Amino acid sequence: MSNAERYTRVAIILHWLIALGLLAQIALGWWMIDIPKSPPGVRAYWFNIHKSIGLTLGMLILLRVVWRFTHGAPPLPDHIAGWQRMAAKISHYAMYACMVIMPVSGYLGSSFTKYPIKYFGHTLPHWGWDAPAYKEICSQVHYITVIIFMVLIAMHFAAAVKHMMARDGVIQRITRWG
C-alpha cells in the first residue's frame, strides 16, 4: 500500500489517542454522575478530572479537525461501493461534529455555574455566571450528543469489523504508516 492510500502519521496517532481518550471519558462520565454528594469533595474531585480530561481532548480534537481540513482523507479503494462511501462520509462528519460539540457543551455548561473550572488543579478564568437555565440547556446538549456519539461509534466499530473480515485493506489505512 502506498502512502497516498493511507492516512498521514499525525492523523493515525490522533485517531487512536482521541479514540482511547473518548472511550475512557465516556466511561468516567457515566460513572461519576452516580457518585453521592456526601462525603463532600469526592464527587467534585472526579467531576474536575472529567472536565480536565475533556478540555485536553477538546484541544486534541481541534488539532485533529485542523489537520483533517488541511490534509484531507486518502481516496478509498476503487472496489468500495458508492453507498458505503456515502455512509463513511456522513458518519465521519457526524463523529467530528459530536467530537466538537461534546467538549464545547461541557465547557459552556460548567461555565454557567458559580464554581470555576479547575484544570488539573489550576483554576481557569471564570468568565461565566450562575445561570441554571443556560446550564440546563448545555447539559441536555452534552447528554444528547454523547448518546448520538455512542450510536455512531457502535456503527463505526461494526464497519471496522466488517472491513477486517473482508480483508479489503481499509483497516490498514489507519493502522499502518510508511
Chain residues in the site for ligand HEM (CB under 6 A): 15, 19, 22-23, 25-26, 29-30, 33, 47, 50-51, 54-55, 57-58, 68, 73, 88, 92, 95-96, 102-103, 106-107, 109-110, 117, 139, 142-143, 146, 153, 156-157, 160, 170-171, 173-174
Least distance in angstroms from the C-beta of 3 to ligand HEM: 14
Q: Which is nearer to ligand HEM, 102 or 128 (CB)?
A: 102
Residue closest to ligand HEM, measured at CB: 29
**Which helix (H) or strand (E) segment is 119 a member of?**
strand 118-119
Q: What residue has cell string 457515566?
A: 30
In the structure grid, which three cell numbers stand for residue 76, read together? 478509498
Least distance in angstroms from the C-beta of 107 to ligand HEM: 4
Alpha-carbon distance of 63 to 6, in angstroms, equals 19
Least distance in angstroms from the C-beta of 123 to ligand HEM: 13
Least distance in angstroms from the C-beta of 157 to ligand HEM: 5
3-state secondary structure of 101: helix
Q: Which is nearer to ligand HEM, 109 or 128 (CB)?
A: 109
Tell me the backbone φ, ψ of residue 4, rounded to 5 degrees.
Answer: -70, -20
CB count, 10 Å around CB of 102?
A: 25
Q: Which is nearer to ligand HEM, 25 or 128 (CB)?
A: 25
Q: Which is nearer to ligand HEM, 25 or 39 (CB)?
A: 25
Q: Which is nearer to ligand HEM, 106 or 128 (CB)?
A: 106
> DSSP secondary structure string, 10-31?
HHHHHHHHHHHHHHHHHHHHHH
- Who contacts 169 (Cβ-Cβ below 8 Å, separation ≥6)? 1, 5, 77
Least distance in angstroms from the C-beta of 47 to ligand HEM: 6
Alpha-carbon distance of 26 to 36, in angstroms, equals 19
